[in-house]
Amino acid sequence: MRIIAASPLVALVLLAGCDAGPTTIGPGSNTSVEAGERADEIGRAARRKGPVVLPPSIVGSKSFRCSDNSLALVEFYSDGMSASVRTDASRPQVRVSSTQAGGTMTADGGWTLKGGPKDAKVTFSSPEHPKPMSCHV
Contacts of 118 (CB under 8 A, 6+ apart): 60
Residue 27 lies in a domain: no
- Residue-number span of the structural domain to which 94 is assigned: 58-136
The answer to whether 75 and 92 have CB atoms below 8 angstroms apart is no
Residue 12 lies in a domain: no
Residue 34 lies in a domain: no
Sign of the dihedral defined by the CA atoms of residues 105, 99, 56, 110, in that order:
positive
Q: How many domains is the chain built from?
A: 1
Residue 25 lies in a domain: no
Give the chain's largest Cα–Cα span: 89
Residue 127 lies in a domain: yes
Residue 62 lies in a domain: yes
Question: What pLDDT is stored for residue 67 in this prediction?
Answer: 93
Query: d(Cα 92, Cα 85) in Å, to the nearest integer?
Result: 9
Question: What pLDDT is stored for residue 15 in this prediction?
Answer: 64
Ordered mean pLDDT values, 10 residues apiece, the chain (137 residues): 67 65 59 72 83 90 94 94 93 94 92 94 92 93
Residue 126 lies in a domain: yes
Question: What pLDDT is stored for residue 96 in this prediction?
Answer: 97
Residue 38 lies in a domain: no
